[in-house]
Amino acid sequence: MSDVILEIEGYSGAFRGRESGEMEPVLFDVSYRLKPKAITAVVGETGSGKSLMALSVLGLQPPTFRRTAGSIRFKGEEILGLDDRALRRIRGRRISMVFQDARAALNPVFTVGDQLADTDRLHSGRSRHAAMAKAIEALRRVQIPEPERRARQYPHEYSGGMAQRAMIAMAALICEPELLIMDEPTTGLDVTTQAEIMELIVDLAKSRGLTVCLITHDLGVVAETCDEVIVMNKGRVVETGATEQIFTAPAHAYTRRLLAASQLGEEGA
């Protein structure tokens, strides 16, 4: 058990139709494992269920989604069906998440510094002043220039890349989790910003011994940064393996198609 931090086994689920009440299955017997202190990528096209699966780990699946089978174990402990209190101990402190659109994930009426400090106080019980100091330190760590001034600004005053950095500061540095799930953290950012963010993520993961689950459809990013790859298609895991193996010797036809498509895209760019 010691070499697996998160284990998903036979997870299946369906959406309940709004009017018909019929169940439309979307996840089929999904199983994968995350190794500790590694960066694992979950790749697949839009609608392949990769985000849905990750959200389910934290119990944040949409209300119309119903699990029909499967289990999710975090460090050997079953986390499906835990009550709110137990979930709260896991959320944030042990598993934390970075969303795709960081600007929507920050609360528009509070300054970024306040939000980081508030989150810190939820877990640490530090004084307001000490929490703010830690928040500014976290912003500095994710290379936000002038963190003292930036901490007093509102999310709408941040650019997309800046907001994503702040979000990473919150999820990785303030919450200090063991597992960080990132749901397409670089989608919607320009290429240079993407590269900077990915560099930051790798740096944080290596220096803190953080396990990262990176959900993405950018295979270029995956090739450069990830240790393990899980390929999903239409709600199924089609292939898992080390990054090198997936890129050099893809076993499944879908993986080959995915690679072919992305390489076309990259040569063009």
Partner 1 sequence: MEMLERRRFGLARFRTLSPAGPGADPQQRAEENPGRMLSRPEAAPKPRRKRRFSRLTLSGKVGATLLAFYVGVTILSFFWTPYDPTMPGAGMPYEAPSLAFPLGTDRLGTDILSMLMMGTRYDLGICLAAVFIAFSIGTILGTIAGYFGGTVDTVIMRLIEIVQAFPGLLFAMLIVQAAGPGVVNVIAVLSFVGMPDYLRLARAEIRSRREWQFAEAARLVGNLWFGVAFKHLLPNSMGPLLAFTSLNAAFSVLIIGSLGFLGLGLSPDSPEWGNMIARGQDGVMTGQWWVSLFPGIAVLGMTAAFYMLGDAIADITDPRRRR
3 binds partner 1 (CB under 8 A): no
What tokens appear for 99 in the block?
Answer: 């969303």
110 binds partner 1 (CB under 8 A): yes
Under 8 Å between Cβ of 239 and 48: no
For residue 170, the 8-state DSSP code is I
Q: Determine the Cα angle at 31 with ends 214 and 49, to 5°.
A: 55
- Close Cβ partners of 191 (under 8 Å, ≥ 6 residues apart): none
Other CB atoms within a 10 A radius of the CB of residue 115 amount to 22
241 binds partner 1 (CB under 8 A): no
Residues numbered 63 to 102 that lie near partner 1 (CB under 8 A) are: 84, 88-89, 91-93, 96-97, 99, 101
Of residues 1, 3, 109, 269, which one binds partner 1 by CB under 8 A?
109
Under 8 Å between Cβ of 204 and 172: yes
Smallest gap from residue 59 Cβ to partner 1 (A): 9
206 binds partner 1 (CB under 8 A): no
185 binds partner 1 (CB under 8 A): no
Of residues 48, 56, 119, 255, which one binds partner 1 by CB under 8 A?
119
Smallest gap from residue 159 Cβ to partner 1 (A): 7
244 binds partner 1 (CB under 8 A): no
Smallest gap from residue 170 Cβ to partner 1 (A): 7
Smallest gap from residue 191 Cβ to partner 1 (A): 15
Question: In the beta sheet, which residues pair with residue 256?
Answer: none
Q: From residue 21 to residue 60, what is the string marking binding to partner 1 with x (rule CB under 8 A)?
A: -------------------------------------x-x
Other CB atoms within a 10 A radius of the CB of residue 202 amount to 16
Interface region with partner 1, contact rule CB under 8 A, candidates 10-18, 72-80, 155-163, 235-243:
155-163
Of residues 73, 154, 241, 252, which one binds partner 1 by CB under 8 A?
154
By beta-carbon proximity to partner 1, the closer residue of 135 and 229 is 135
Smallest gap from residue 247 Cβ to partner 1 (A): 30
The residues of the shown chain that bind partner 1, judged by CB under 8 A, are 58, 60, 84, 88-89, 91-93, 96-97, 99, 101, 103-110, 118-119, 122-123, 153-154, 156-160, 167, 170-171, 174-175, 188
